[in-house]
Amino acid sequence: MQMEYLKRIDETKDEMIKTLQELVSIKSVEDKPAPDAPFGKGVAEALDYMLQKAEAEGFDAENIDNYGGHIEFGGYMLDEEGQIVGTSEEVMGIIGHLDVVPEGTDWEYDPFGGIIADGKIYGRGTVDNKGPVVAAFYAMKALKDSGYVPEKKVRLILGLDEETNWKGMKHYLSKVKAPDFGFTPDAEYPAIHGEKGIMVFQLAKKIGKTTGKGIELRSLKGGNAPNMVADYARAVIRADKMEAYEKVKELAAEYRNTSCTEENQAAYGAKINCKGIGKSLEIVAQGVSAHGATPENGVNAISVLMDFLRKIDIINDDVNEFVEFYNQHIGFELDGKSMGCGFSDEPSGKLVFNVGQVELEGEAVMLTVNIRYPVTLNDDKVYEAMMPVINKYNMGIIKIKSQEPIYMPADDPMIETLMDIYREHTGDREKRPIVIGGGTYARAAKNIVAFGSIFPEDPDPSHKKNEFIEIDKLVLNAKIFADAIYRLTH
């Protein structure tokens, strides 16, 4: 049986590639609600695309109020002659998502083009998470077309707002029985037996009216999402003398970052650009985007811009205090140590601190922060640890999102099975189950773990410009997923 379904995956390689290209071409960034599209038209279109393809291939497919959907087969008990003698309501779930984060800037390839170059498919969502969803679909197709009838139902669940608030998954699970066990291919290999807790919040500081002559900060904005390392940040200043602009331009030309940490040395090369806009001066910092769970893979443009702003003599004391706060207590640190929350534990390592967005709006400046905290803690302890610093600078805190950590013993039978499959396909006998900072749909139901799709030796292009998946790895993922489905339902 195994040789048969693995062979079928190879035979459908071109079809798999085309499906992913077509799915990537749908811009499924969450948008304002529309009729029959609670997460925007693009997200709804992506769901319709997958469900229609599944029905055309003979799968059962269901749309749950446009908040999510699923594709499934199996759930039948057969006798020795292949006749159905019973059914099962036990469900093995593969939980993925079709929404993607905003594309960001400076792509070499069309972010929604599905362009193939150098053996890779480029586009937003190729690895997070449309590519793995397509791989899981073709794994199911190969098994079904090989005649495999699993006793347990195999269900590919399609989430629609994983990158934001999970309202879709909550609605879906309120209408459909949760899977009994399974995996989500939305992280990395090998098997992941724990995920750090996640908290998203805003820090707000009131900014009084600017009076007097000098340099005034008129605008400040950066970042696309809390769970992304900001690749762009912009400030606009207004001065009463042209000489002040010339001085700022000189500082920008000479700017070299000397504040970044050893784990974020790429920020040493960050640059500041200036240009006049009317009677004002625009200051732009360019960074490198990365997933908020792994900020060491990027360069935070907000931190670069804040580092530069401290070199400018701004006349508003509240603004200066905010800039001081940022550089003294956040800066380029990634573990929250200077905020008072530099926790770590043995199972999961250090806390991860990422500033995803900043905006000066009206009389307040807002920072949106995403923290991944160790599995032995809770968010109350993290908030409590930060309060002395927050209070020192007269800042307010707005709690937006909280997800508790999850943890499964490394010797759990499902973890051991997934590890065996990973080792068989890669030959890697050294790796052990891991704990990650990312937040996946493994948190959506009990007995779900993250498994795949990024291999240890490969870079993680999630949330970055020029996101891609290697075609060979797309096919390998499909084979690994097929074996996982077979072994866990056989």
Radius of gyration of the chain (CA): 24
CB neighbour list of residue 367: distance below 8 Å, 6 or more residues apart: 202, 203, 204, 326, 355, 357, 358
Kindly report the number of other CB atoms within 10 A of residue 394's CB atom. 11
Kindly report the number of other CB atoms within 10 A of residue 276's CB atom. 11
CA dist., res. 426 & res. 440, Å (int)? 23
Tokens of 21: 């290209």
Torsion of CA 432, 436, 442, 445, to 10 degrees: 100
Would residue 240 show up in a list of annotated catalytic residues for this protein? no
163-169 — which CB contacts under 8 Å span 24+ positions?
Answer: 163/30, 163/97, 163/99, 163/100, 163/101, 163/225, 163/227, 164/30, 164/99, 164/225, 165/401, 166/444, 167/38, 167/67, 168/38, 168/39, 168/67, 168/68, 169/68, 169/441, 169/444
Tokens of 91: 């469900």
Asked if 334 and 352 count as a contact pair (C-beta separation under 8 A), the reply is yes
Q: What strand order describes the sheet that includes 396-403?
A: 272-277, 280-286, 232-239, 215-222, 352-361, 364-373, 197-206, 396-403
CA dist., res. 142 & res. 59, Å (int)? 12
Torsion of CA 485, 145, 23, 98, to 10 degrees: -30
End-to-end CA distance of the chain: 11
Asked if 479 and 9 count as a contact pair (C-beta separation under 8 A), the reply is yes
Tokens of 296: 């060491």
CA 243-246-247 angle, to 5 degrees, is 90
Tokens of 249: 């331009």
For tokens 């984060």, what's the residue?
101
Asked if 468 and 121 count as a contact pair (C-beta separation under 8 A), the reply is yes
Helices (H), 31-124: 41-56
Would residue 65 show up in a list of annotated catalytic residues for this protein? no
Among the options 72, 99, 335, 470, which is catalytic? 99
CA dist., res. 308 & res. 286, Å (int)? 12
Among the options 128, 161, 162, 470, which is catalytic? 162
Hey, which residues are catalytic here? 99, 162
